[in-house]
Amino acid sequence: MDKRLKDENLKIAIQKDGRLTEESFKALRLMGLEFEVYNRRLFATSRNFPVEVLFCRDDDIPGYIEDGVADIGIVGQNIIRESGANVTEITKPGFGFCKLVIAVPKESQISSIEDLEGKKIATSFPNTTKQYFDDQGVNIKTTTIAGAVEITPALGVADAIADITASGSTLALNDLRQIETIMETEAVFIRSDKKLPKSKEVLLSQMMTRLEAALTAKNLKYIMMNAPSESLDEIKTIAPGLDAPTVMELTKPGWLAVHAVMDENTFWSIANDLKTLGARGILVLPIEKMIA
């Protein structure tokens, strides 16, 4: 493998090691990229596309995109907001959902952000936190912590914290309770506002089409069933598919094969209704990709 980056290759920056890493790999592979990941490597070259994947600290990614070091990247919206980098969201790959919240010790008398006037807040997101409190008209002091923010109230370092949480379990384990949400965030693909060379723009468009096709198909299922012909109108009403179901006559008189694409949750909500209408041999199949 060439140990140097090639200028003509599209460069994608992702988190080297963290909560977005594995899902970022999955997203790239949904786009059809084939590459190997080696420990301690700073980048990997795709075997089937002129693409290089850069493994970076997540808080470096927005700056790399803005400066043109990388062409596109996958990073949390919270990181973009904290960095203040001038980048543009391309699409949301559907993972990395969490919140930046304010939390205080369970036994604390603090119950609202107004109660934090003049207090000290520990956080890994000082810019976002300070801006939020400024917008609320509450004067606070911030202490920037690189990691283990949850322990700072117990150490007497801060009166409260502003930190990322997905389920709230880490807060509970550290005897903290949430009092406010600063922002909800998820992973996004980003790029700079600068136009890329035409070859890279074409490649990026192709890759985004593949990703969107995979994401569109993610919660969709291909439903196949046999049903009596007299029930067709009612089945079409409750299972219309994307535009309309596909209907074919069976060799058994009075029976039809009905095929439809629908959201999986929708299917399960009408499954019993389909059976009541006489549908039999209902098959639920996954869809790998779908171009709408």
The 10s digit of each residue's pLDDT in 242-287 is 888 999 999 999 999 999 999 988 999 999 999 999 999 999 999 8
DSSP string, 129-176: HHHHHHHHT---EEEE-SS-GGGHHHHTS-SEEEEEESSSHHHHHTTE
**Model pLDDT, residue 36:** 84
Task: Tell me the CB-side half-sphere exposure of residue 159, using CA atoms within 13 A.
Answer: 16
Which of residues 193 and 182 earns the better pLDDT score? 182
> CA 264 to CA 285: how far, in whole Å?
10
Contact by Cβ (8 Å): 256, 232? yes
> pLDDT tens across 46-93, in order?
999 999 999 999 999 999 999 999 999 999 999 999 999 999 999 999
**The pLDDT of residue 7:** 74
* Strands 160-165, 120-123: pairing kind: parallel
The hierarchical CATH code for the domain 10-96+187-216 is: 3.40.190.10
CATH superfamily of 98-184: Periplasmic binding protein-like II (3.40.190.10)
Residue 2 has pLDDT above 90, yes or no: no
Look-up: residue for tokens 């609320």?
136
Please determine whether the domains at 10-96+187-216 and 98-184 fall in the same fold group of CATH.
Answer: yes
Question: Per-residue pLDDT for 180 more than 70?
Answer: yes
Sorted by where each begins, the domain ranges of the chain are 10-96+187-216, 98-184, 219-286
